Amino acid sequence: MRRPALLLALVLDALGEPPARLHPVVGMGTFLKAARGRWRGRTPAAQGREGAVGWALGAGGVVGAAGLGTRLPGGWITQGMLLKPLLARRALFAAVAEVQAALAADDLPEARRLLAWHLVSRETGDLSAAEVAGAAVESLAENLSDSVVAPLLWFRVGGLPLAALYRYANTADALWGYRTPELEYAGKLAARADDLLNLAPARLTALCALLAALPAGLDAPGAWRVWRQDARKTASPNAGHPMSAFAGALGVRLDKRGVYVLHGQGRPPAPADLPRALRLARWTLALATLTLLLPGRLLPGGRHA
């Protein structure tokens, strides 16, 4: 039942997002922001406890709600409809295309604005056109793993409850997983849970990007070389895997100022690289989907069709 539901969710994703008031990820964010507003801990231990309890309560609610969803009538059709809001393929690809269009029109201020609005949390006001293009490639690679491949993988392994738990963990990391005075300890569990749940998806995405480079008309040996050399150069144990594979396949240098450089020997990214990156992302997702459609007994912990 999971395989047809997975395909249906991808088809439905092309139709866009449900209204915000009905979107489960928006609801997760609302809960996480409200929980953060109730923190009162003054010591690292107290802050860590508050964050852990808040995370666990939300996780329990999400898994419970998803478990109820699996009991609804309609079989794989209902499951596919419930899985769809946990994906963000269309929104991700559209955001990158908007940045590319602004760069192609030589509207750097608008490209910076769109990049900050849709794709990254870093300051974009002084980024060059090459840095904007590079940041868009980085975000495309990382979010292809986080927002598309990962929920599909965990749905395939553990059904709707595990896919929903993953999406909750990823949302919690996005809101709490920062090394700031307020979040250093309170967000620690959220960050660690996201790291753990992204170990497999990030590497699957990188592998599929490597294999997709050839049909996408890009540099497969370069993808392998840069992935092997640079995957661990990011602070995240996961983000560097798909990003370095994309950098190598495209032949570009991805440079986040003062943080990391991936494929340092590559050329600066250009606006024309974004359509190529989107082509690679589509091929990567196609290969990842085919992998996840393998019989359940060939997947970790999976026995369901």
Residue-wise pLDDT for 108-120, tens only, equals 999 999 999 999 9
Q: SS3 string of the chain? A: CHHHHHHHHHHHHCCCCCCHHHCHHHHHHHHHHHHHHCCCCCCHHHHHHHHHHHHHHHHHHHHHHHHHHCCCCCHHHHHHHHHHHHCCHHHHHHHHHHHHHHHHCCCHHHHHHHHHHHCCCCCCCCCCHHHHHHHHHHHHHHHHHHHHHHHHHHHHHHHHHHHHHHHHHHHHHHHHCCCCCCCCCCCHHHHHHHHHHCHHHHHHHHHHHHHHCCCCCCCHHHHHHHHHHHCCCCCCCCCHHHHHHHHHHHCECEEECCCEEECCCCECCCCCHHHHHHHHHHHHHHHHHHHHCCCHHHCCCCCCC
Please state at what angle helix 75-83 crosses helix 150-176, rounded to 10 degrees.
30
List phi, psi (to 5°) of 64.
-65, -45
Q: What is the pLDDT of residue 18?
A: 87
Residues 212 and 164: their CA atoms lie apart, in Å, by 28
Sequence-distant (≥ 6) Cβ neighbours of residue 64 within 8 angstroms: none
Determine which of 1-5, 79-83, 279-283 has the lowest per-residue pLDDT on average: 1-5
**pLDDT of 229 over the 80 cut:** yes
Residue-wise pLDDT for 28-67, tens only, equals 999 999 999 999 988 999 999 999 999 999 999 999 999 9
**pLDDT of 253 over the 90 cut:** yes
Residue-wise pLDDT for 161-212, tens only, equals 999 999 999 999 999 998 888 899 999 999 999 999 999 999 999 999 999 9
Residue-wise pLDDT for 78-93, tens only, equals 999 999 999 999 999 9
Q: What is the pLDDT of residue 299?
A: 54
Distance of alpha carbon 146 from the chain centroid = 2
In this prediction, residues 271-279 reach a mean pLDDT of 97
Q: What is the pLDDT of residue 17?
A: 87
Residue 230's pLDDT band (cuts 50, 70, 90): very high
Domain boundaries, the chain: 2-298
Residues 257 and 208: their CA atoms lie apart, in Å, by 28
For the chain, the average pLDDT equals 94
